[in-house]
Amino acid sequence: MRPPSPHHPHQLPHQSNSSPAPPDDVPDRTRPTPAPLMAPQRKKSSKGTTGVRAWLLMDSGGKTEVVEAGKHVIMRRTGLPARDLRILDPVLMYPSTVLGRERAIVINLEHIKAIVTAHEVLLVKSADPSVSPFVHELQRRLISHNQATTAAPEGNEEDGSKSNWTGLHDLGESQSRGESRENSPKGFSDQFDEQGRVEKNQLYGSKVLPFEFVALEACLESACSCLENEAKRLEEEAYPALDKLSSKISTLNLERVRQIKSRLVAITGRVQKVRDELEHLLDDDEDMAEMYLTEKSVERDLEINSSASSSVNEPILCDEMDEEIVQADMEIDRDAQIGTTTTNTNKQLDVQELEMLLEAYFVQIDGILNKLSTLREYVDDTEDYINIMLDDKQNQLLQMGVVL
């Protein structure tokens, strides 16, 4: 008679009746794991370890595609380290962050979690309803940018370096952004037209923005507009509720004001984080210089081409040209110093252009924070007024007790 195999599926119930089963935390290697129970867990664990998730890929022409990619695939595609990808994890709560790296920009602003390269945008696919309008707006801008860059050489041939890039954005901008510009500081509000759009020729000069800056601007505008709309709704609810509480102190009014105050604290923290991130970028020229992805990509291509051409044209016999080589090296060193100085000067001008772009949204987010600070002061004043009224009522009750 054949002895029962230890791997037979019917052995497990028989063994559980005769001898106690091993603890759950001590794995038993003599018996297999039941396939129906562990297969889903093994699949889930594999997906978690590789970090596979859905990404919305949008190229420079505005074409979109949903791709399933793991963490290592994204790292190879964008050149980002794993710690930067953790910032985009929807499960983890990271503060608002904008990071400039060698080949990509990592953006984590409110509902927007994106990786911007010199040629494409990777968005973490989300079910948030506020993401869909942003995707459509980004797609529209990238299509317009692609058309502008395609038509730019023709415009340069006709009129030198003059290239009007007002076609990058249609005249129909969102109303929320237009309303936000009305509340901007006086010195800055003059730079906006009657429809709330920034005069691009005043901000960046008459030229087409790089691809990465178009995507960055779309992310900043969407995040600022989202925060501004929330702050506006909160103001519309808060001021009437506070006035009603001042006129009549009741449990219902107190509970309503308490909820409003909790929302105020939460949105103030979110706005403050976005403002701090923009301020940090504006204070560091090196971080802003890292965001010039198109320029760095062109420089890398030129270096590769120059190194390839120099290796092909290198002479085989150079023993009789020592003196010429020494003189050439001296000239190269001198040209390199001049080129470095010129590059640094151009980089400062380029950083200044990006600084003006970021400054526009810094002013907008700072205006939102000022509104919330004013509302917070009004809440504190209402609390002080209510405490005074309650103290007065308490004093009246004490006087009545003394009289009695």
pLDDT along the chain (404 residues), means of 10: 48 46 47 43 44 89 92 93 92 91 94 95 86 94 90 53 40 43 44 42 60 95 96 96 92 94 96 96 92 89 73 50 51 47 47 88 97 96 92 86 77
Residue 368 is assigned to a structural domain of this protein: no
- The pTM of the whole model exceeds 0.85: no
For residue 32, the one-letter residue type is P
Question: Order of strands, edge to edge, in the sheet holding 64-69?
Answer: 64-69, 53-59, 120-124, 112-116, 105-109, 97-100
In a domain, 69, yes or no: yes
Residue % of the chain over a pLDDT of 90: 48
**Total tally of structural domains belonging to the chain:** 1
Mark 116-152 as b/e (b = at least 16 C-beta within 10 Å): bbbebbbbbbbeeeebeebbebbbebbebbbebbeee
In a domain, 196, yes or no: yes
Tens digit of pLDDT for each residue in 158-196? 444 333 433 344 434 444 444 444 444 444 344 444 434
Task: Please give the share of the chain, as a percent, with pLDDT higher than 70.
Answer: 63
Is 102 inside any structural domain? yes
The mean of the pLDDT values for the chain is 75
Is 394 strand, coil or helix? helix
Residue 247 located in a structural domain: yes
Could you tell me if residue 250 is inside a domain? yes
Burial class (CB in 10 A: 0-12, 13-18, 19+), 355: middle
The answer to whether the beta carbons of residues 300 and 387 sit under 8 Å apart is: no
pLDDT in tens, 25-64: 444 444 444 444 344 444 444 444 456 889 999 999 999 9
Q: Say which CATH number the domain at 57 has.
A: 2.40.128.330
Assigned domain for 383 exists: no
pLDDT at 316: 47
In a domain, 280, yes or no: yes
Structural domain that includes position 213: 53-289
pLDDT computed for residue 313 by the predictor? 55
Determine the 3-state secondary structure of 198 from DSSP. strand
Q: Alpha carbon 162 to chain centroid distance? A: 32
- Give the C-alpha distances (Å, rounded to integers) separating 283 from 137, 201, 286: 29, 24, 9
